[in-house]
């Protein structure tokens, strides 16, 4: 005669007994526990990044997250006037300075990465001195937009294959800018060195040297990326600001 064996069957808090004439079998099952999809981050990443004004840079490779994984995180800049960060991981440098960008999990706010951003100007002290002075010599009595427009034309020439590829080369190119020949530029340089040059001209120079090609007028914003000429009169002029025509 066989001894009876009892096996308990547990399935979602219910017990079922299965018997046969000689053996009673007990089977126990458990309800599986759902696994979390959020990884546990033990140590956060710290990245140092240097970017120049008006330039962009991606952080995806730096923090080892692709576009899909990045959607699980919140990205925040503590100084949006210096640098902003998009949800896709693109930093845009706005002005010289420092900013800190944090990358945190949307699931539990855990810090995954810290990006220390340093934004640098795109010009040297000598370039700022020269651009500020030529702007003042050419457009010292004009509006800020007029000053900036003159600077943009000069910067465009530096980038053009038709002109010298340095700021000083463009400004001192024979037969181009009269202040470089008649002493006006030298007087403006002296004003700059003494700290007495018009602040609007310096502001315009900084914007232009950092790559800004837009001028804001009463009727809208004009992109001057393709303008290479200005004077009191320019045949076929496309734009007039104050006492200057531009083409």
The model's confidence at residue 7, banded by pLDDT at 50, 70 and 90, is very low
More confident residue, 36 or 91: 91
Domains of the chain, residue spans: 1-30, 45-120, 125-246
Kindly report the pTM of this predicted structure.
Answer: 0.78
Return the DSSP state at 166: S
List strands edge to edge, sheet with 45-52. Answer: 45-52, 111-120, 97-105, 73-77
Q: Which residues, listed in sequence order, are joined to residue 111 by a DSSP beta bridge? A: 104
Topology adopted by domain 45-120: Immunoglobulin-like (2.60.40)
The CA distance from 165 to 177, in Å, is 16
166 has a pLDDT exceeding 50: yes
More confident residue, 8 or 67: 67
Q: What is the DSSP string of 174-190?
A: TTT-THHHHSHHHHHHH
The pLDDT of 138-148, averaged and rounded, is 98
What per-residue confidence (pLDDT) applies to 22? 47
Torsion sign (Cα): 142, 148, 151, 157: negative
pLDDT one-digit tens code per residue, 131-140: 999 999 999 9
51 has a pLDDT exceeding 60: yes
Could you tell me which CATH number the domain at 125-246 has? 1.10.10.2520
Mean per-residue pLDDT of the chain: 89
12 has a pLDDT exceeding 70: no
The model's confidence at residue 43, banded by pLDDT at 50, 70 and 90, is confident
């Amino acid at each position: 005669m066989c001894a009876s064996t009892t096996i308990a069957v547990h399935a979602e808090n219910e017990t079922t007994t299965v018997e046969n004439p000689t053996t009673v079998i007990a089977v126990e099952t458990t309800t599986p526990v759902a696994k979390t999809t959020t990884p546990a981050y033990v140590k956060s990443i710290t990245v140092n990044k240097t970017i120049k004004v008006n330039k962009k840079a991606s952080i995806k490779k730096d923090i080892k997250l692709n576009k899909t994984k990045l959607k699980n995180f919140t990205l925040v800049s503590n100084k949006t006037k210096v640098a902003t960060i998009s949800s896709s991981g693109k930093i845009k440098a706005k002005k010289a300075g420092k900013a800190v960008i944090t990358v945190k999990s949307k699931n539990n706010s855990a810090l995954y990465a810290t990006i220390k951003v340093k934004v640098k100007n795109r010009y040297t002290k000598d370039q700022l001195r020269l651009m500020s002075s030529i702007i003042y010599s050419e457009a010292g009595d004009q509006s800020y937009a007029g000053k900036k427009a003159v600077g943009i034309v000069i910067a465009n020439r530096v980038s053009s294959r038709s002109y010298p590829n340095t700021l000083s080369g463009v400004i001192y190119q024979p037969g181009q800018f009269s202040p470089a020949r008649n002493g006006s530029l030298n007087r403006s340089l002296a004003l700059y060195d003494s700290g007495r040059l018009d602040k609007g001209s310096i502001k315009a120079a900084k914007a232009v040297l950092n790559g800004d090609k837009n001028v804001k007028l009463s009727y809208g914003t004009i992109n001057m990326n393709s303008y290479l000429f200005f004077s009191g009169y320019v045949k076929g002029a496309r734009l007039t600001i104050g006492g200057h025509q531009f083409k």
